[in-house]
Chains A and B, each alone.
Chain A
């Protein structure tokens, strides 16, 4: 790789400002995995169809295999590693959709799971939690990612479960 094809980028990854010098052709998925060591983002098809590599760019679900690392210069990226939050006591609190995936057996091999989690977390966070989720909303949220293990039934169930938990939290 010749040096004139490299660029230095500044990107906030999971809340932490990071700088990296990367080849301009480096995919965001590869940058996250190999430059930043965040291997939770998985690459299943390399052409934006399966959704395994979905991360949030400025909060929006984005297929990181279709984006170059240099394109996120100056932006915020959230990966599956960044979905949980600190609980002010040194611990970590999982996002409700992460809890729901475990509770509802919504994953088997777990390879597609990070893409579902980022997509669903963004979708659930963007809606009014006080309103009960509809089947149509669940189908819409779940419908864009491929999973080969679960047959989706428990992923849909986890989505409903998380929405209910967030509703309970919001109306408490």
Chain B
């Protein structure tokens, strides 16, 4: 019997190459390529007066210099607004190279191509751009006040007003026994993958075609964008995502200016061109996320049950809106979490600032929404003198309420209807895992040691696996090798392993016979991309469906050869056999050979399929009408709506009253992503997410000054967690299968990060007895908070640090 694969912690097949230095990341490709480098704006808002490239012309090895004036046709038009929305009334995007006005520090102004990167940067250093400085807007509050405008034609800085409501919230609040309100802030962080972005392009002059490698999360759409912008026919452009050194959202945005400019230069120069982003470029020209101001008003009864919720969010979208208003929509719709909220209204203003664009970073608006909802839960508990877990339990959607319709519209344009879940079960498991009910003894023990100990919790529901679709192709070769491809990309999630597990399992072949390729438009042209915890749900189901199609055809062909009913056949270890009749079998590889009637015997195996090889039915064509040669199948999975994963986290913090250092000593996760294909990989995703959650709660923030300069644009100054900052994580799983897809999967990629700031803020409050009104929080800010007289202190001037 074939080894069970679905649900098993199968070791990753990606690892063999990655642990020996044999991976192929973007910068590993094209050793003879010319190198591109960029002159980027040093000002957050300025008019370009003059660009003087004359001094650069002396640099030996300089090959080309491009400014906006060199862009022609669609390249000279603004970059696309990828996700338009009727409420995004004032979308703005930049140009591949700045035209007239720059809107944030780091915006590309000039591209240089030279024989190598050193020489290219020599030339960059000699190009003189003169600017006329314009007033700068930094932080949501400044954007809201709109004393100055980021874009001249958007005087109030409002890109979008987004609004959803499930009933009449004002009378519901007026009728509530209790109402409380609070304002809070959430700061900017960023995805910050260890590998920055990068693009390599090769133009084939003989074939008039372009091959582009790019460190992207969406190769098919990059391909379409390049074809449109460079006015090439789609089939003349191939885009491949090679090994990608992490994404976490930042690489879903496309086309980045460099993804268009590098291919343009390769075509014009008739030579390979490559650009590898350096770390400072990544800080100042890629995307950030998370800054919001939130005003929360919540009504509740004597028992702490919610009666109405009214939320106003001011969301900093940075200088441009290429990714639309996806992040604030996610905040608005995922804020409600696992709770019954009788009447809900949310109003979002998405605001321009003179800072790097804001697009999804793992969690994509959910950490902020979770922070709002979970802080409200803690506040209700404080006001009513109730246990924080109990307040949550009283408001949870019950297991018999699924499917549960929140009457909201999600980021995919589909209704927010929770497909399945067991939130009461999550809470019970969490309390057991973190010993919630016996915490006071621990607190007393810590107090005896002179430490403040606190515990906090947070729950979330995460819409995962949104459409529109993904596809899969499965082909069995005459060698027995099974080729699998899907257009969706990989950035370390182990897709080669997981999709191989699924196909091997569906088809009944050894996993080592299965080869998986992702994100290569030569292999699969239709895809959406890797984001929103959708890879396993979307491509997982698609490749499984494709494998089922192959199996059906294999059984049909084998049934003819073996002269049995297909229903009596099974495939095990690559052998098609009659159930219960050992010996009556045919190898799947032979079925693959027979599936393709041949004239020419190009190898030994092919002989079996040639026209004189055996008796055939000469009354029928070799390939029946409606059939096709080859043992392969393509299928697609397109869901009616997203599936909703869920979880509950708890954190225990220990605070030293001398230094006010905050140490997360315990971190517990209960996680439900439906059926689990590979628990080892899911736990890895949770671990990584929690580390980013801890980083976002305690360390990571983009420190802009009032002039829009990013003061900490390096790993020395922007503090990402090292091993010493990440607590040990204990994990318990719950599996409530999704009824929406054949495999019962929900997404797992982002879950770990979502409740981090909420749970840690809750724990810090519990430890020091003061309210936290902004995250992240540093030891200095905590010190200022506890020594102040106010019961609530905003822990920094939001969005502006100097």
Interface residues of A (CB under 8 A from B): 1-2, 23, 25-26, 33-34, 37-47, 49-50, 52, 79-81, 83-84, 94, 98, 101-103, 105, 107-114, 117, 139, 142-156
Contact = CB atoms under 8 A, between A and B. Distances in A.
A122 to B, nearest CB: 16
Interface stretch (B25-33, B160-168, B549-557, B770-778): B25-33
Interface stretch (B13-21, B139-147, B370-378): B13-21
A49 B715 contact: yes
B278 interface: yes
Main secondary structure of the interface of B (DSSP, over half): loop
A102 B492 contact: no
27 contacts: A39-B21, A39-B28, A44-B195, A79-B21, A80-B20, A102-B12, A102-B16, A105-B12, A105-B680, A108-B493, A109-B193, A109-B195, A110-B23, A113-B18, A146-B720, A146-B722, A148-B192, A148-B193, A148-B691, A149-B246, A149-B492, A151-B687, A151-B688, A151-B726, A151-B752, A152-B691, A153-B729
Interface centre among A109, A145, A150, by most B CB within 10 Å?
A: A109
Most B-side CB within 10 Å, residue of A2, A110, A112: A110
Nearest to B490: A109
B61 interface: yes
B439 interface: no
Given A150-B687, A154-B684, A40 B20 contact: yes
Interface residue tally on B, bucketed by range: 35 or more
B118 interface: yes
Give the one of B20, B493, B684 with max A CB within 10 A. Answer: B20
Contact of B11 (A45, A102, A117, A143): A102
Contacts of A26: 118
Contacts of B194: 42, 44, 50, 52, 109, 111-112, 146-149
Given A34-B31, A151-B688, A151-B729, A49 B723 contact: no
Contact of B723 (A25, A41, A101, A139): A139
Interface string B519-552: 0000000000000000000000000000000000
A171 B14 CA distance: 32
B243 interface: yes
B728 interface: yes
Contacts of B11: 102-103, 105
A47 B714 CA distance: 8
B697 to A, nearest CB: 14
Given A42-B245, A47-B714, A110-B14, 20 more contacts: A42-B25, A42-B194, A43-B27, A47-B279, A49-B715, A49-B716, A80-B20, A81-B20, A101-B19, A105-B11, A108-B492, A110-B492, A111-B25, A111-B492, A147-B194, A150-B687, A151-B689, A151-B729, A152-B691, A152-B723
Given A101-B15, A111-B194, A146-B194, A25 B118 contact: yes
B688 A107 contact: no
A149 B15 CA distance: 14
Give the 4 A-B CB pairs with smallest separation, nearest first. Answer: A40-B21, A109-B492, A111-B245, A110-B18
A104 B228 CA distance: 44
Contact of A143 (B12, B22, B31, B724): B724
Contacts of B323: none
A24 to B, nearest CB: 11
Interface string B721-736: 0111010110000000
Nearest to B14: A110
Given A26-B118, A49-B715, A154-B687, A102 B723 contact: no
A63 to B, nearest CB: 12
Contacts of B75: none
A153 B726 contact: yes
Given A38-B21, A146-B715, A149-B492, A111 B195 contact: yes
Contacts of A143: 722-724
B692 interface: yes
B690 A151 contact: yes
Nearest to B16: A102
Contacts of B12: 102, 105
A64 B333 CA distance: 46
Interface string B99-137: 000000000000000001011000000000000000000
Contacts of B27: 33, 39, 43
A49 B719 CA distance: 11
A113 B492 CA distance: 12
A144 B723 CA distance: 8
B248 interface: yes
A171 to B, nearest CB: 25
Contacts of B278: 46
B245 A40 contact: no
Contacts of B690: 151
Contacts of B565: none
A52 B397 CA distance: 45
Interface string B762-797: 000000000000000000000000000000000000
B738 interface: no
Contacts of B703: none
Nearest to B61: A1
Given A52-B194, A109-B245, A1 B60 contact: yes
Contacts of B691: 148, 150-152
A34 B15 CA distance: 23
Nearest to B17: A110
Interface in B489-520: 491-494
Contacts of B243: 109-110
Nearest to A117: B19
Interface string B676-703: 0000110110011111100000000000
Contact of B21 (A23, A46, A81, A153): A81
Max chain A C-beta neighbours (<10 A), residue from B244, B684, B689: B684
Nearest to B18: A110
B682 to A, nearest CB: 10
Contacts of B729: 151, 153
Given A40-B20, A98-B20, A109 B723 contact: no
Interface in B254-283: 278-279
A114 to B, nearest CB: 6
A49 B714 contact: yes
B192 to A, nearest CB: 6
A80 B279 CA distance: 22
A105 B684 CA distance: 7
B723 A1 contact: no
Contacts of B18: 107, 110, 113
B15 A102 contact: yes
Nearest to A40: B21
Nearest to B689: A151
B118 A107 contact: no
A64 B291 CA distance: 36
A34 B276 CA distance: 13
A47 B688 CA distance: 24
B430 to A, nearest CB: 19
Contacts of A105: 11-12, 680-681, 683-684
Contacts of A147: 194
A81 to B, nearest CB: 4
Query: In the complex, which of the residues A25, A41, A44, A151 has the most CB atoms of chain B within 10 Å of its own CB atom?
Result: A151
B714 A148 contact: no
Contacts of B681: 105
A45 B714 contact: yes
B7 to A, nearest CB: 16
Interface centre among A26, A147, A155 (most CB of B within 10 A): A147
A46 B279 contact: yes
Nearest to B724: A143
Nearest to B686: A151
Contacts of A145: 722
A55 B245 CA distance: 19
A115 to B, nearest CB: 9
A127 B29 CA distance: 37
B726 A152 contact: yes
A103 B691 CA distance: 21
